[in-house]
């Protein structure tokens, strides 16, 4: 969702320039910016939910648990503003000591890191949830409704903060309408999904709780006009959860280390698919990636995708391509011991091998971030 960061940059720029002469700059910027920023994060949650729902259906299964948006803490936003505006008091009035462009860039950068954080939190919550937690969520939604229904209704109501922001920005409205169209198409393409093949040892009560959660999504889609009727099925049929995560290389270039990790396939947990946990635990350098703050290297743009079926998932063609390259590298290491790392199957030597074989790298599909499809 690069457009969200671009839009956020514009709103931060306007808020700071409008507030720079205020007596309390931090408070003034906060008041002008907070609703817009909350909209950005809530939109990021919505987009991440729809991606996971569409991906499950594309893989031929039911989407499973849909976690709600956790919200944004006002004090967190104020803390970022205090730290990055760096105001000083002069004659009882706040003064921004740095150049406005620099301040805008810093504030946008800090606030922007929470956009992928919200998306990661959503996909993590969807998998790392107990049946007891799902039951509590079901009880809440019976009283207050499904969060997807709430998002769409708020977006269309100009009396809500979300609706006001949408009404004032055509780019957000257009993106919202595009996402709804894609959502509707995913329902048409797979109206019922496939049935579970096992129950993970769940008892009848657990199956009823998880089945109720899945039906709540279908009910929300019916309320929003996305589908006409409730699919048929037992509680066991509806109680589906993703089984693992895969790391998918994005873009035309990926380093050898990341391709090596991608080639391993759907073997990761949500907390290990993108994050270098061991390095962080040992106090090593933490790098900021495109999607997380504890990446394997600076500016890493590899994605995490939920895997519901081992045979078909978003980016599988990319994973297969990476695996093919790694296998050929391994074969060359064995056949030409001494030329490629003295027989060492390491990421550094894999990177050197990739540079020496551009024709094979060119055959590997790349991942289309916009559509979740591979392309040549």
Is residue 271 included in any domain, yes or no? yes
Claim to verify: residue 37 and residue 133 sit in the same structural domain: yes
- Any residues with CB less than 8 A from the CB of 297 and at least 6 apart, and which? 255, 257, 258, 287, 289
pLDDT in tens, 91-125: 777 788 788 899 999 999 999 988 877 877 787 67
Claim to verify: residue 330 and residue 270 sit in the same structural domain: yes
Tell me which of 238, 261, 295 is where a domain ends: 238
Claim to verify: residue 39 and residue 175 sit in the same structural domain: yes
pLDDT in tens, 223-250: 888 887 777 665 555 555 555 678 888 8
Claim to verify: residue 229 and residue 285 sit in the same structural domain: no
Q: State how far the Cα of 97 lies from the Cα of 370, in Å rounded to an integer.
A: 40
Claim to verify: residue 204 and residue 280 sit in the same structural domain: no
Claim to verify: residue 225 and residue 279 sit in the same structural domain: no
Instruction: Give the count of domains, the chain.
Output: 2
Q: pLDDT tens digits, the chain, 376 residues: what are they?
A: 677 888 899 999 999 999 988 888 899 999 999 999 999 999 999 988 888 888 777 766 667 678 888 899 999 999 999 889 888 877 777 788 788 899 999 999 999 988 877 877 787 677 656 777 778 888 888 888 889 899 999 998 999 999 998 898 888 889 889 988 888 887 777 655 443 434 455 677 777 777 777 788 888 888 888 887 777 665 555 555 555 678 888 876 788 888 888 887 776 765 555 555 554 545 555 665 555 555 667 777 787 787 776 667 778 888 888 888 888 888 877 665 545 545 567 778 788 888 888 888 888 777 655 444 444 4
- Any residues with CB less than 8 A from the CB of 288 and at least 6 apart, and which? 113, 295, 298, 299
Tell me which of 238, 257, 273 is where a domain ends: 238
Q: State how far the Cα of 165 lies from the Cα of 179, in Å rounded to an integer.
A: 17
pTM of the model: 0.65
* Structural domain boundaries, residue 318: 249-375
Is residue 145 included in any domain, yes or no? yes
Is residue 201 included in any domain, yes or no? yes
8 A C-beta contact, residue 206 and residue 178:
no
């Amino acid at each position: 969702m690069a457009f969200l960061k671009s839009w956020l940059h514009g709103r931060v720029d306007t808020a700071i320039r409008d507030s720079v002469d205020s007596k309390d700059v931090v408070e003034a910027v906060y008041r002008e910016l907070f609703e817009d920023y909350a909209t950005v994060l809530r939109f990021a949650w919505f987009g991440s939910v729809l991606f996971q729902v569409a991906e499950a259906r594309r893989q031929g299964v039911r989407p499973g648990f849909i976690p709600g948006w956790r919200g944004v803490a006002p004090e967190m936003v104020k803390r970022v503003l205090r730290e990055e505006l760096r105001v000083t008091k002069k004659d009882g009035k706040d003064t921004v000591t740095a150049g406005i462009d620099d301040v805008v860039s810093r504030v946008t950068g800090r606030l922007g890191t929470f956009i992928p954080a919200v998306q990661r939190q959503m996909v993590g919550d969807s998998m790392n949830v107990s049946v007891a937690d799902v039951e509590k969520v079901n009880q809440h939604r019976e009283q207050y409704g499904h969060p997807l229904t709430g998002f769409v209704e708020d977006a269309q109501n100009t009396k809500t903060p979300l609706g006001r922001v949408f009404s004032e920005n055509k780019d957000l409205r257009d993106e919202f309408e595009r996402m709804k169209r894609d959502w509707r198409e995913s329902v048409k393409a797979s109206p019922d999904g496939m049935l579970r093949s096992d129950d993970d040892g769940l008892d009848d009560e657990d199956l009823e709780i998880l089945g109720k959660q899945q039906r709540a999504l279908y009910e929300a889609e019916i309320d929003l006009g996305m589908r006409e009727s409730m699919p048929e099925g037992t509680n066991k049929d509806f109680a589906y959860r993703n089984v693992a995560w895969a790391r998918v290389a994005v873009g035309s270039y990926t380093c050898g280390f990341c391709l090596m990790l991608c080639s391993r396939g759907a073997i990761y947990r949500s907390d290990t698919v993108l994050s270098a946990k061991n390095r962080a635990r040992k106090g090593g350098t933490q790098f900021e990636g495109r999607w997380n703050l504890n990446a394997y290297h600076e500016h890493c743009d590899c994605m995490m995708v939920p895997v519901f079926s081992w045979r078909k998932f978003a980016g599988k063609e990319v994973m297969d391509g990476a695996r093919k390259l790694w296998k050929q590298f391994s074969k060359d290491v064995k056949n030409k011991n001494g030329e490629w790392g003295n027989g060492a199957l390491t990421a550094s030597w894999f990177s050197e091998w990739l540079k020496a074989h551009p024709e094979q790298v060119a055959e590997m599909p790349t991942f289309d971030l916009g559509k979740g499809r591979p392309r040549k």
